[in-house]
Amino acid sequence: MENVESLGVKTGDTIVTTKGWKGVVTATLTNTVVVDFSSMENFQELFEHEKQVVRVADIKELIAK
């Protein structure tokens, strides 16, 4: 199982999930990250709050800052 450290994700990085959602990492844990999706146009249609916990396994692409 991949974890945040092996993937190289850090606070401030932009990620794209397997569902195509794009956001900025605001915190990292062992196997999950907290992502701010407020930059997405339609985030309010998808989520109640802009910050969501995302499993590392659901990260499709890492766009380092």
Q: Is the pLDDT of residue 17 over 90?
A: yes
Q: Give the domain CATH number at 53.
A: 2.30.30
* pTM confidence score: 0.87
Q: Is the pLDDT of residue 5 over 80?
A: no
Q: Can you give the residue range of the structural domain that contains 22?
A: 4-63
Residues with Cβ < 8 Å from 19, sequence gap 6 or more?
A: 58
> What sign has the CA pseudo-torsion 54, 57, 58, 62?
positive
**Based on the structure, what is the number of domains in the chain?**
1
Cα separation of 47 and 52, whole Å?
8
In the block, which residue shows the tokens 């701010």?
36
Per-residue pLDDT at 11: 94
Cα separation of 56 and 5, whole Å?
10
